[in-house]
Amino acid sequence: MTQIAVKVARKTQEALDIASFELVKPDGSALPGFSAGSHIDVQLPGGLTRQYSLCNDAAEQHRYRIAVLRDPASRGGSTAMHDAVKEGDTLLISEPRNHFPLVHAQRTLLFAGGIGVTPLLCMAQRLAQVGADFTLHYCTRSTERTAFREEIAASPYAGRVQFHHDDGDAAQKLQLEQVLARPQDGTHVYVCGPTGFIDWVVKTAERLGWGKDQVHLEYFGAAAQDTTGDRAFKVKIASSGATYEVPADQTVVQALQAHGVEVLVSCEQGVCGTCITRVLQGECDHRDLYFTDEEKAKHDQFTPCCSRAKSELLVLDL
């Protein structure tokens, strides 16, 4: 994977517990282009790698901007970005990738939960530039936790954004059933944010008759898995024939690493898709947020960073 060295040109406190980081090439040259919905991998102090959506205008080539929520429940990435990364620092990042692209639609509904606004902010900028019909519903716990509020209010698309705060009066809260009440073939829905927020939007849309191909989502982290029933199983490496046991308390990636078999990983939560591995035999216990239900049903690929096996053995194309 190509790595790019970037400098932190600006670090800005955008809201309570949310900071943005403007990343530029040290020599001022252009960065690789990206499209709305893209993210980058960022290598953090301490060896962590985390994914962050790009939230600046996709037409810009001189900078990338990301925003990070300080989350006490995270596995160290947000703390490192807030406390260890400062203006002038150099970071290694990947080229942008997009698993959450905009599709052409007669109308677009964007639903952001908290820090999930970042890819949708980029989408709103793009949709406004091309004169598309869209509305962004931006839900946060409070005004002080609403990143980019002033920037949005000053933007050309300010009239297309509706803010909803948990601590506000009932009249301003998101009436999701009303917004999604009339499914239309030419309308597409995009949702990003915490797992509970996404599930609320997706399940409401499904119940009201929206097609699966009309609803697009991106998670900002996996929900905690119930591992109490986990058991050991075996994986076989197709290229060598070697078979290894995966203990109940280890992931496939960890078990393979112990035997010198390296699998490229990034998020380690089944969100980013970096570690996807082909499965030649066996039934997977999918625990990722990356594959669709249809893709999972094929059992021909899985995310070894978090997924396991329902069968006694998985044969991997490694």
Encode pLDDT of 34-53 as tens digits.
Answer: 999 999 989 888 778 888 99
Joined tokens for residue 244: 């290894």
The residue among 22, 28, 82, 92 whose CA lies nearest residue 57 is: 22
What global pTM score does this model have?
A: 0.77
Residue 174 CA to residue 177 CA, distance in Å, equals 9
CA distance 148 to 139: 13
Phi and psi torsions of 5, nearest 5°: -85, 125
Q: Which residue has the higher pLDDT, 73 or 80?
A: 80
Q: What is the pLDDT of residue 1?
A: 62
Percent of the chain with pLDDT over 70: 96
Whose tokens are 């990003």? That residue is: 192
Average pLDDT (282-309) is: 91
Q: How confident is the model at residue 292 (pLDDT cuts 50, 70, 90)?
A: confident
| pLDDT at residue 221, rounded to an integer | 61
Q: What is the pLDDT of residue 76?
A: 59
Q: Which domains does the chain have, with CATH numbers?
A: 3-94 (2.40.30.10), 107-219 (3.40.50.80), 233-316 (3.10.20.30)
pLDDT for 138-184, tens place per residue?
999 999 999 999 999 999 999 999 999 999 899 999 999 999 998 99
What pLDDT does residue 225 have? Answer: 62
Q: Which residues contact 174 (CB under 8 A, 6 or more apart)?
A: 111, 137, 139, 162, 164
Would you say residue 216 has pLDDT above 90? yes
